[in-house]
Chains A and B, each alone.
Chain A
């Protein structure tokens, strides 16, 4: 018995020598104590955030590989940026193999949590919230990984982002699952990214539920290979509260899924309902651009086996009402601008094509008609994204 205790003590000692836990409790000087822990952590260490509210004035940052930042839970450990006076985000991560788990970020002036060039990052069981609800003065992105390979965002809630709740940009090998995004302009946005699986999320009461976009003049373009499946995408009718000038400020309220300027996007087996404008919108990028390497149209897009409910009863774009009146009072649940190659919709719901022929063409030139773009032969969806085992293991 004694020897077991001794061995246990030895194990504990050796573990602590390898991986330390830096515990930070709420209270005075939280800014400096928390930031110091994030700087002094060594690879393998955990920064443990205690329960309580941490009043912070400046962004925090982590730049050490293989560190876990863990809180007591998304409603227990709250990093409160209501009085933030510096930095563009609440928490910034710039190192690899980081796990963020079990805490909340509230009321940042800019983005909530950003990670850049942070490969194999895990966002798990977090909450990012602007507590006053939809407001143009809220920060832009809640959870914001960018320029990274292997990204996992799961079990998290984002509420009130004035751009996108969960925004993955210029990345590849992405999994976004089991999240709840509400009252954001865009619930989940996958932008200029390759190989993304977005599944089993709940996107409700945003302006647009789930967006898959590609934009010009960026280091990584040509977004492709995205699967959006098994999500509940419902009642995304919140008035667009994005500051004007943002690209999402152009998303009509009442949009379920929107695919723009992407290739090989498959939207399947979702429940998509109660959207004033459209359950699914398939469009080209419409703004002028000066970038020879950018492709503004959609290609190889498949929409199939979704359960689609009511849609098109309150179209939120110019000419929408007249268009609805012309096709019988409400718009069909799927709206396609008519541009792009190999677009298939097998949902057994009507599809309205605007009959445009080139990206950027004025809506006044639309020649709307019902489109028959179902197909018995549907191409295979992109392969499932497989994350490194280390990422799943880090959650154990």
Chain B
């Protein structure tokens, strides 16, 4: 009897190992706020390394800077459905879809094999009512992550690419702060997964192959990789950088709509792009400078001043930037310096 039970248990273990339970569709579309990330079954392991069936990793041409954190992005679209391609904005995902993004730091950025400490996983769930954004914080042993709607601060340290030790108080955003960046006309919206930022020549077709996306036109727009001069002009790379790092708020329907500063990739009004635009409600953020961008003069441009500050009353972006992005600052300085002073 005992032997039979043991055999049965072994068989069950074998079956469950070979055929993991699929993603919990009903949890995504339900009206609860699951306490644990594992309830979604996005991953077959606790730590969030091994994606479940139909959970696909992806990257962006030019990603958002978040204090040098490493990010793993995954997309999930329910079986039998696809997201709808859109050349201009983000794709339209069917109800039941989810976007999953994990944040962590390797112990040593110089060593690709060094242990990564995963801090949090943010999920966006497409429900009937719209998108819902939830932050999950990983427990110490990495076995699961717990919902923290109010966010959290945690001390983090790592060795950076130059071999220097960095320490910060890492901020997991609260649920409202998710919305600060993800708001469009007061609704939660996606930021990254649009045609131009996903399109690397291969990825859109791959998404169609995986039956995540309905079509991948040959003429899909494409933004460059911000730090790869081979992928676009200086102007294009700077615009791509500002698009992903700033335009989630600095957009006509975004959280910073009242500023009149609009940095979407295709914004064509020069003043709206910051060129010879005076500050409105910048407070200390103006730094004694007259214009967001003074062509030819990064050292006289508010953009650079705010990127160079860690002070929460000055720093831009307001959220998720406790550190300076040295390489990003260099790009924007170069972009402004190269502008014709007469323009």
Contact = CB atoms under 8 A, between A and B. Distances in A.
Interface residues of B, number: 48
Interface stretch (A136-144, A295-303, A340-348, A353-361): A136-144
B176 A39 contact: yes
Nearest to B317: A88
B73 interface: no
Given A86-B171, A140-B313, 11 more contacts: A35-B149, A36-B150, A62-B176, A63-B179, A110-B285, A110-B312, A140-B281, A141-B281, A243-B288, A287-B278, A291-B271
Contacts of A217: 260, 271-272, 277-278
Contacts of A218: 258-260, 280
Contacts of B322: 85-86
Contacts of A136: 284
Contacts of B179: 63, 94
Nearest to A81: B312
B271 A146 contact: no
Contacts of B66: none
A245 B289 contact: yes
B101 interface: no
Interface of B: 148-153, 169, 171, 174-177, 179-180, 183, 186, 252, 255, 257-260, 270-272, 276-290, 302, 311-314, 318-319, 322
A124 interface: no
Interface stretch (A44-52, A161-169, A375-383): A161-169
Which of B255, B270, B287, B313: most chain A CB closer than 10 A? B313
A219 B258 contact: yes
Given A61-B176, A218-B260, A31 B279 contact: no
Given A58-B151, A246-B283, A290 B288 contact: no
Nearest to A108: B313
Contact of A140 (B176, B271, B282, B289): B282
A167 B280 CA distance: 12
B132 to A, nearest CB: 12
Contacts of A239: none
The secondary-structure label for the interface of chain B is: loop
Contacts of A40: 149
Contact of B271 (A38, A137, A290): A290
A244 B258 contact: no
Which of A59, A110, A146, A218: most chain B CB closer than 10 A? A110
Contacts of A36: 149-150
Q: 3 shortest A-B CB distances, which residue pairs?
A: A140-B283, A245-B286, A244-B288
Interface string A357-388: 00000000000000000000000000000000
Interface string A183-213: 0000000000000000000000000000000
Contacts, number: 141
Contacts of B259: 218
A245 B279 contact: yes
Nearest to B290: A245
Contacts of A58: 151, 153, 171
Interface residues of A, number: 52
A147 B260 CA distance: 12
Interface in A215-273: 215, 217-219, 243-247
Contact of B283 (A84, A163, A219): A163
A141 B279 CA distance: 14
B311 to A, nearest CB: 6
A46 B289 CA distance: 42
A169 B281 CA distance: 9
Contacts of B150: 31-33, 35-36, 39
A147 B183 CA distance: 15
B177 A162 contact: no
A219 B256 CA distance: 11
Given A86-B322, A219-B260, A244 B149 contact: no
B284 A140 contact: yes
A92 B177 CA distance: 10
Contact of B312 (A109, A243, A291): A109
A116 B253 CA distance: 12
Given A57-B153, A141-B281, A110 B313 contact: yes
Contact of A39 (B149, B284, B286, B288): B149
A162 B313 CA distance: 11
A290 B278 CA distance: 11
A146 B319 contact: no
Contacts of B279: 245-247
B278 to A, nearest CB: 7
Given A35-B150, A139-B284, A219-B257, A109 B311 contact: yes
Contact of A245 (B171, B258, B302, B318): B302
A155 interface: no
